[in-house]
A and B are shown apart, each in its own frame.
Chain A
C-alpha cells in the first residue's frame, strides 16, 4: 500500500488563488519531498522538508510538516496557469534510501 496519501485527489481553482494540497503518511520518516509532474512528463523535485523541520519556503511554495499527525501540506500562492500539473508527496522511510510516492493531487488552474 502507498505510504503517502494526498488530499484532495483533484483541485480546480482560478488563477491568482492559493492552492493547498495535503499529504498523510503512516510510518516514521527521515524527510518528505514534493514533486510535480506535467502531463506526459517525468516528475520534477520541488522542495524537501526534513523530519526536524516544521515549515519551509521556496518562492511561491510553502511546505509544512507535522510529524505528530504524520501529515504535510503544500501551499502554492498566487497560482498561475503554468502551475497546472499533478503534485506528489514522497516520503523517505527511516533507514531506507528510497522514496515512496503518494497517489498525487491533480491541480488545474483556470485562467
Chain B
C-alpha cells in the first residue's frame, strides 16, 4: 500500500494567495483527518470526515479555511486568503473505523510544508 499521499510537499506562497492542499487516503479507510503542526501550538486537529461527510470541524481556525472530500479517495484543504500565521506543516491522516472509540491506528502522510510570506 502506498500510504497516505499528500501534495504538494512544500509550498511557498505570498500573503493573500489561495492555497490548496491535497490528500489521498489509504484505500478502504473511512475516516480522514486534517491536522496542523506548529512549534507554538503543536499538533491540532482541524477537521475530520467519516465516509466523506465532515463530522467535526471545530478546529478549523476561521472562515478562510475550508475542507472538502468529494469522494473516498480525495480530500482538499483550502486557505483563502492565506496569511503568514498560516505557515505550518499540514498533515492528512486516515484510519479504518476511527481511532477513538474503535481504537484503530491513524496513518499519517508526510505532510505539506506551507510557508506564507
Inter-chain CA distance A31–B95, complex, in Å, is: 15
Give A42-88 interface residues, CB cut-off 8 Å to B: 42-45, 48, 50, 88
Give A28-49 interface residues, CB cut-off 8 Å to B: 30-31, 33, 35, 41-45, 48
Known A-B contacts A100-B45, A103-B42; the reply to A92 vs B108 at CB < 8 A is: no
Give A85-99 interface residues, CB cut-off 8 Å to B: 88, 90, 92-99
Nearest-neighbour CB distance to chain B for A49, whole angstroms, equals: 9
Cβ A44 vs Cβ B45 within 8 A: no
Give the contacting residue for B45; candidates A42, A88, A94, A98; CB below 8 A: A98
Inter-chain CA distance A96–B56, complex, in Å, is: 10
Where chain A touches its partner, the secondary structure class is strand
Cβ A97 vs Cβ B101 within 8 A: yes
Interface range on chain A (Cβ under 8 Å from partner): 20 to 34
Cβ A98 vs Cβ B33 within 8 A: yes
Inter-chain CA distance A48–B98, complex, in Å, is: 14
Known contacts A41-B110, A90-B106, A98-B98; 12 further A-B pairs (Cβ under 8 A): A30-B103, A42-B4, A43-B91, A44-B108, A48-B103, A48-B105, A96-B56, A98-B33, A98-B45, A98-B48, A98-B99, A99-B100
19 contacts between A and B (CB under 8 A): A2-B42, A30-B100, A30-B103, A42-B111, A43-B108, A45-B106, A92-B99, A92-B101, A97-B31, A98-B45, A98-B48, A98-B99, A98-B100, A99-B33, A99-B45, A100-B45, A101-B42, A102-B42, A104-B43
Binding site for B on A (CB under 8 A): 2, 30-31, 33, 35, 41-45, 48, 50, 88, 90, 92-104
